[in-house]
């Protein structure tokens, strides 16, 4: 199986998840940042990881997802909101919509610790986003439990 893992990571959190996916996949795999990502056509499995900007996949990943027609695609993301929150679900739905024509074989999201400087700026806004209330619980994430969970999810996807 020829696999590709593509990720976008500002603080290294999404990269940690990408590396966990890489460790779990069988031989015949590549891992690259989105800026260096090749054409996904010709791969049997592609996993794309991203961080959220304004509740959506970051812009570089958003553009890359548009190339996924006909691809078996696994989506993963880190964010300040609680895992499985409406904020995270909307972002995954947006990512899936950007990947029009892809076969979404699975997804995973977890919290990623928000940069302290960014957190201060967001908290100071007159109308901070709803996820800001979850940001304190994101400290230390992704943790070992998150990394184990994504590995288990990938293992289940591959077995299906």
Domain ranges of the chain: 3-152
Mean of per-residue pLDDT scores for the chain: 94
So what's the architecture of 3-152 in CATH?
A: 3-Layer(aba) Sandwich (3.40)
CA dist., res. 129 & res. 155, Å (int): 34
Q: What is the pLDDT of residues 70-81, one digit of tens each?
A: 999 999 999 999
Find where tokens 């400290």 sit.
139
Length of the chain, in residues? 160
Long-range CB contacts (within 8 A, 24+) of 115-124:
115/10, 115/11, 119/80
| Alpha carbons 19 and 6: distance in angstroms, whole number | 10
Q: Where are the beta strands (DSSP E) in 24-136?
A: 29-33, 45-53, 56-57, 72-79, 103-111
For 35-86, the pLDDT digits (tens) are 999 999 999 999 999 999 989 999 999 999 999 999 999 999 999 999 889 9
pTM of the predicted model over 0.85: yes
Taking phi first (over 0 means left), then psi (-120 to 50 degrees means alpha), and beta for anything else, what does residue 54 get? left
- Asked if 81 and 131 touch (Cβ cutoff 8 Å), the reply is yes
Tell whether omega for the bond before 142 is within 30 degrees of 0, i.e. cis.
yes
Percent of the chain with pLDDT over 70: 100
What mean pLDDT comes out for the span 8-16?
A: 95
What's the rounded Cα separation, in Å, for the pair 115 and 71? 33
Strand pairing report for 56-57 and 45-53: antiparallel
**132 has pLDDT over 90:** no
**Torsion of Cα atoms, 96 then 100 then 106 then 111, to 10°:** -20
Q: Can you tell me whether residue 117 is helix, strand or coil?
A: helix
């Amino acid at each position: 199986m020829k696999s590709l893992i593509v990720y976008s990571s500002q603080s290294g959190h999404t990269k940690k998840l990408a590396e966990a996916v890489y460790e779990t996949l069988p031989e015949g795999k590549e891992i690259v940042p989105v800026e260096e990502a090749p054409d996904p056509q010709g791969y049997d499995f592609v996993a794309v990881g991203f961080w959220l900007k304004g509740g959506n996949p970051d812009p570089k990943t958003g553009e890359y997802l548009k190339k996924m027609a006909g691809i078996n695609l696994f989506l993963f993301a880190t964010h300040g909101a609680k895992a499985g929150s409406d904020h995270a679900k909307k972002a995954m739905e947006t990512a899936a919509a950007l990947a029009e024509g892809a076969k979404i074989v699975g997804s995973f999201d977890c919290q990623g610790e928000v940069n302290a400087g960014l957190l201060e700026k967001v908290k100071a806004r007159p109308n901070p986003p709803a996820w800001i209330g979850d940001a304190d619980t994101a400290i230390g994430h992704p943790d070992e439990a998150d990394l184990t969970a994504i590995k288990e999810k990938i293992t289940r996807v591959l077995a299906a």
